[in-house]
Chains A and B, each alone.
Chain A
Amino acid sequence: MRRILLVAASLALLAGPAAAVNPDEQLADPALEARAHKISKDLRCVVCQNQSIDDSDAALARDLRIILRERITAGDTDEQAVGFIVQRYGSFVQLKPPLRADTIALWFGPLAVLLLGALGAFAYMRARAPQRAAALTADEEAEAARLLKTDGAD
């Protein structure tokens, strides 16, 4: 029983992340197919949300891959083809979110946190730095000079 489980587990590990694109979906023109493939890798499947439509086996992902290829064959630019899907399913399907007013926190939030941390660390280290000795008064200067002079005799 254990051996069967082990074999089954190792076989499961062999299953690589094969692309879900079926041969019958692919375009004859390799340049167009390459473009469609590239675009579909950046579009989220709305059924299984952490997969792109390029990876997903969901029926809807297949439909969207075919629609994407239809658009590209019809002469759409990459942006227009992506726009067609975004118009229907929302910006959520873009695995690389565009820079917009409502995505600023997404793009620059981590940087802001890093800067805040750096600011905190800087303030902390400055507060801990040893105090610099106050400058000597004129009398002390003279005393020091006298002592140095005496010592410097030899």
Chain B
Amino acid sequence: MKRFLFLAPIVAFVAVLVAFFAGLGRDPSTLPSVYLGKPLPAFAAPPLRPGDIGLTNEDLDRGEPVLLNAFASWCGPCRYEHPVFLKLRREGVAIHGLNWKDRPEDGQRWLAERGDPYIRLGSDPTGRTGIELGVAGVPETFVIDKRGRVRYRHVGAVTPEVWDQKIGPLMAKLRAES
């Protein structure tokens, strides 16, 4: 036993190396939301679409799992996920939107040019509503369960791959929950 004690520092070094190497692959920008497992705080965003009613936290607690997507017309990756949301909406997935740190006229033009996948849609030109929700940038997408609790937050574009591998299966699971 004692003869192999000299190996202990080497074993410890290798363990640290493995831990650090595993950490290298993790993206520090994708932090879990502080609201994970909890409902989002109360908020009310004014409408972006003329004559609409805007978006409040109560829209996220209607007994069905929903997506809440923060987007902006100036955001590059939002262009990639927009067609995905249009397709999902046609397939019956409930999606709400928050137009974050964007001028309302720019947000309206974005929807007019590219189509509108959102059921409820709030305008947040100052970004204050997004900050209440812990939004650090766009695009960000919250996955909310039947009881209005945040179950996942995706930072970055919801590409077809992200939907197929992560959010789609999660939504199916949330729909099956009682």
Contact = CB atoms under 8 A, between A and B. Distances in A.
Interface stretch (B53-61, B115-123, B130-138): B130-138
Contacts of A90: 31-32, 34, 134
B34 A87 contact: yes
A67 B131 contact: yes
A89 interface: yes
Contacts of A87: 34
A59 B34 contact: no
B13 to A, nearest CB: 11
**Chain A residues touching B, range:** 10 to 19
A60 B133 contact: no
B101 to A, nearest CB: 7
B132 A49 contact: no
Nearest to A49: B28
Contacts of A63: 126-128, 131
Interface residues of B, number: 17
A49 B127 contact: no
Nearest to A92: B31
A95 interface: no
B127 A88 contact: no
B50 interface: no
A64 B130 CA distance: 12
Interface of B: 8-9, 28-29, 31-32, 34, 101, 126-128, 131-134, 136-137
Closest 4 CB pairs of A and B: A46-B136, A90-B34, A88-B134, A89-B134
